[in-house]
């Protein structure tokens, strides 16, 4: 299983197909919980399969799409030398898995883009503290914002230098957007604007850092340092 690097993240940002499946699963090195890791993954995959069946995708299409991932829980070597988390990305003709050094929440997303927001937690801890202090200094002076309705368009235009966000939070958009992923459950077919901000920021050369909501002014789940 591969270690997730910057080059892979850039490739995931470019992915755009229907469906794109993202599965995040905590993993364990030993003990009873380690034996259950493959079961958790299999259950999340089954939820994705049911979700896609409900969308009308044929049995043959599902078999071609999910077969590589369905085999993995039965392969003992795939569950060796894991760290604290695993992420799998599945799309037509592609299946990639990566080990994560940080624990992640168990979740599965299906959409036209991969769900990348949880990867913000991989940022450098010391650098994050410096960036957070800089953001606090700028906040309220026009070079930083905590308004998502301003941050998302700015990210799309390449105006977000640094994005800070709580990766456990979600900010649902109204209406039927198609530019991202929706969780298999409980919030089906909904668009998380925080994930949209992450993808636009990274694709435009910005940086993304995970922080706790309480670390940001006004208890906002997101903040951005703007380029201009």
pLDDT of residue 66 exceeding 80: yes
Q: What is the pLDDT of residue 115?
A: 92
User: How confident is residue 78, by pLDDT bands cut at 50, 70 and 90?
Assistant: low
pLDDT of residue 186 exceeding 50: no
Q: What is the pLDDT of residue 179?
A: 45
pTM as predicted? 0.82
User: How confident is residue 212, by pLDDT bands cut at 50, 70 and 90?
Assistant: confident
Q: What is the pLDDT of residue 34?
A: 66
pLDDT of residue 4 exceeding 80: no
Asked whether this chain's domains 2-114 and 119-226 adopt the same fold, the reply is no
191 compared with 46, residue with greater pLDDT: 46
Domain chopping of the chain, boundaries: 2-114, 119-226
HEC states along the chain? CEECCHHHHHHHHHCCCCCEEEEEEECCCCCHHHHHHHHHHHHHHHHHHHHHHHCCCCHHHHHHHHHHHHHHHHCHHHHCCCCCEEEEEEECCEEEEEEECCCCCCEEEEECCCCCHHHHHHCCHHHHHHHHHHHHHHCCCCCEECCHHHHHHHHHCCCEEEEEECCCCCCECCCCCCCCEEECCCCCCCCEHHHHHHHHHHHCCCEEEECCHHHCHHHCCEEEEECC
Domain 2-114: CATH superfamily is eRF1 domain 1 (3.30.960.10)
119-226 adopts what CATH topology? 60s Ribosomal Protein L30; Chain: A; (3.30.1330)
pLDDT of residue 1 exceeding 70: no
**What value does the mean pLDDT of the chain take?**
84
Each residue's pLDDT tens digit, 10-48: 889 988 888 899 999 988 776 666 678 888 889 999 999
């Amino acid at each position: 299983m591969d270690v997730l690097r910057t080059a892979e993240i850039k490739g995931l940002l470019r992915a755009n197909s229907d469906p794109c499946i993202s599965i995040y699963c905590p993993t364990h090195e030993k003990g009873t919980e380690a034996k259950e890791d493959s079961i958790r993954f299999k259950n999340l995959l089954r939820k994705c399969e049911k979700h896609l069946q409900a969308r009308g995708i044929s049995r043959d299409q599902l078999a071609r799409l999910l077969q590589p991932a369905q085999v993995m829980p039965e392969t003992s070597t795939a569950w060796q030398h894991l760290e604290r988390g695993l992420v799998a990305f599945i799309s037509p003709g592609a299946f990639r898995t990566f080990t994560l050094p940080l624990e992640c929440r168990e979740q599965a997303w299906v959409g036209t883009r991969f769900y990348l927001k949880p990867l913000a937690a991989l940022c450098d801890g010391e650098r994050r503290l410096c960036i957070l202090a800089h953001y606090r200094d700028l906040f309220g002076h026009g070079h930083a914002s905590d308004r998502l309705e301003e941050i998302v368009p700015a990210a799309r235009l390449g105006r977000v230098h640094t994005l800070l966000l709580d990766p456990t939070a979600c900010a649902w958009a109204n209406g039927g957007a198609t530019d991202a992923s929706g969780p298999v459950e409980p919030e089906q077919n909904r668009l998380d604007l925080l994930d949209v901000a992450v993808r636009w920021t990274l694709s435009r050369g910005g940086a993304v850092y995970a922080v706790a909501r309480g670390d940001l002014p006004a208890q906002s789940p997101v903040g951005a340092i703007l380029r201009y």
